[in-house]
Amino acid sequence: MSEQTKSPEQEVELNEELDQMQADVEAAVEAADAHEAEEVSPEAEIAMLYAELEAAKQTINDQKDGVVRAAADVENIRRRAAQDVEKAHKFALEKFANELLPVIDNLERAIEFSDKENETLKPLLEGIDMTVKSFNDAVAKFGVEIVNPQGEQFNPEFHQAMSIQPSNDVSPNTVLAVMQKGYTLNGRLLRPAMVMVSKAAE
């Protein structure tokens, strides 16, 4: 039986089908090759994951350092603020206390230079003395302390030497006399004590 002769149209269609099949095969081969190229060996994948883990650890450490530094800065600011508040509380009365010192000085001078043998003045002097003590007690409650260094070693931080007197009775740099008492406020000098200081006799 003889083979049936194909028409030109059928041959064109057959050739097109063959071309399409060949194109599909080539595309499949290219896709397989690309897939093989994309496949990574287990060792390379582990190395990649390890690198990503190290990068993540470094990021976490950097963030930790930033948090620690920020916390330290906040703590420093808080401590400085607390110190400023403490100083403000301690020394808020500094100007007021300085205004009171001349009043205490005048009361003490009134006692010092009055006629203590005069019986008429004794009640008055007792009243002034009680007033001075009340003043000193009141300011002491707020941290004001008297600097009266009679007989002590001269201290330039709290004493102001008004004169120097030779003496064989005491060691050099001893306070022989206090012309005016000094005062401190919570350890800070309000006014130095004005003193006479000894030196070795020639």
Q: How many domains does the chain have?
A: 2
Whole-angstrom distance, CA of residue 162 vs CA of residue 175: 11
- CB of 181 closer than 8 Å to CB of 156: no
Q: What is the pLDDT of residue 118?
A: 86
Check whether residue 65 and residue 114 sit in a common domain.
no
Say if 146 falls within a structural domain. yes
Say if 184 falls within a structural domain. yes
Task: Provide the CATH number for the domain around residue 109.
Answer: 2.30.22.10
Q: Amino acid identity, residue 26?
A: E
Check whether residue 78 and residue 104 sit in a common domain.
no
Check whether residue 142 and residue 171 sit in a common domain.
yes
- Domain span including residue 193: 93-200
HSE, CB side, 13 Å, CA atoms: give it for residue 36. 6
HSE, CB side, 13 Å, CA atoms: give it for residue 188. 14
Q: Amino acid identity, residue 89?
A: H
Whole-angstrom distance, CA of residue 140 vs CA of residue 137: 5
Q: Which two tokens stand for residue 27?
A: 């595309």
Residues near 114 by Cβ (< 8 Å), separated by ≥ 6?
121, 125
Check whether residue 64 and residue 131 sit in a common domain.
no
- Local confidence pLDDT in tens for the 202 residues of the chain: 444 565 677 777 777 777 777 777 777 777 766 655 555 577 777 888 888 888 888 888 888 888 888 888 899 999 998 888 888 777 778 888 889 899 999 999 988 888 888 888 888 999 999 999 998 999 899 899 999 999 999 999 999 999 999 988 889 999 999 999 999 998 889 999 999 999 987 7
Q: What is the pLDDT of residue 36?
A: 55
Whole-angstrom distance, CA of residue 175 vs CA of residue 179: 10
Check whether residue 83 and residue 173 sit in a common domain.
no
Say if 189 falls within a structural domain. yes
- CB of 178 closer than 8 Å to CB of 152: no
- CB of 73 closer than 8 Å to CB of 91: no
The conformational region for residue 187 under phi > 0 = left, psi -120 to 50 = alpha, else beta, is: left
Say if 53 falls within a structural domain. yes
Q: What is the pLDDT of residue 172?
A: 92
Check whether residue 121 and residue 178 sit in a common domain.
yes
Give this prediction's pTM. 0.57
